[in-house]
Amino acid sequence: MGSTKPHYIHRLNYSTVEKIVGIFVVLALLLFMSLFVVNGRNLHLFEDYIHIDLFVESAEGVALDTPVRVAGIAVGRVDEVEITPEHLIRIRVRIYERYTSMLRTDSKPSIVLSLLGRTSIDFSTGNPELPMLESGTAMNVEAPLSIEDLMAGVTPLMEGVQNAITHLTQLILAVDEKDVSSLLDNTTQITRHLESILASIDNGEGLAGKMVKDQQFASQVAEVLRAVDVTLQQTEQRLQQLQPVLEQLAPIMENVAEAAPYIPTAMTEMVLMLEQVNATLNSLQPELRNLPDLMNQVNILMEQTDLLMRRIMGTWPLSIGQEPARQNVEIIPHD
| Chain centroid, CA 207 distance in Å | 39
pLDDT (0 to 100) of residue 176: 67
Q: What is the pLDDT of residue 148?
A: 63
Tell whether the model's pLDDT for residue 77 goes beyond 60. yes
User: Residue 102 CB: number of other CB atoms within 10 A?
Assistant: 19
Quote the mean pLDDT of the chain. 76
Helices (H), 133-176: 147-174
Which of the residue ranges 52-56, 234-238, 280-284, 291-295 has the most confident prediction, judged by mean pLDDT? 52-56
| Residue 219 in this model has a pLDDT that exceeds 70 | yes
Phi, psi of 332 (to 5 degrees): -95, 120
On the question of pLDDT at 331 being above 50, the answer is: no
Q: Where is mean pLDDT largest: 97-106, 138-147, 256-265?
A: 97-106
Rg (CA), the chain: 56
Residue 265 buriedness (CB in 10 A; 0-12 / 13-18 / 19+): exposed
- Within 130-265, strands assigned E span 137-140
Please check the confidence at residue 329 and state whether its pLDDT lies above 80.
no
Report residue 30's pLDDT band, with 50, 70 and 90 as the boundaries.
confident
Cα–Cα distance measured from residue 43 to residue 285, given in angstroms and rounded to the nearest whole number:
120
pLDDT interval class at 315 (50, 70, 90): low
Q: Of 64-73, 164-173, 288-297, where does the model show the most confidence?
A: 64-73
Query: What is the rounded distance in angstroms from the CA atom of residue 53 to the CA atom of residue 120?
Result: 15
Higher pLDDT, 51 or 209: 51
Q: Cα(128)–Cα(227) distance, rounded to whole angstroms?
A: 51
Number of H helices and E strands in the chain, helices first, is: 8, 7
Is the model more confident about 137 or about 144?
137
Q: Tell whether the model's pLDDT for residue 198 goes beyond 70.
A: yes
DSSP string, 270-317: HHHHHHHHHHHHHHHHHHHHHHHHHHHHHHHHHHHHHHHHHHHHTSHH
Q: Mean of the pLDDT values across residues 248-267?
A: 78
- Residue 294 CA to residue 300 CA, distance in Å, equals 10
Distance CA 274, CA 305 (A): 44
Task: Write down the pLDDT at residue 117.
Answer: 65
In this model, does residue 205 exceed pLDDT 80? Answer: no
Among residues of the chain, what percentage have pLDDT more than 70?
73
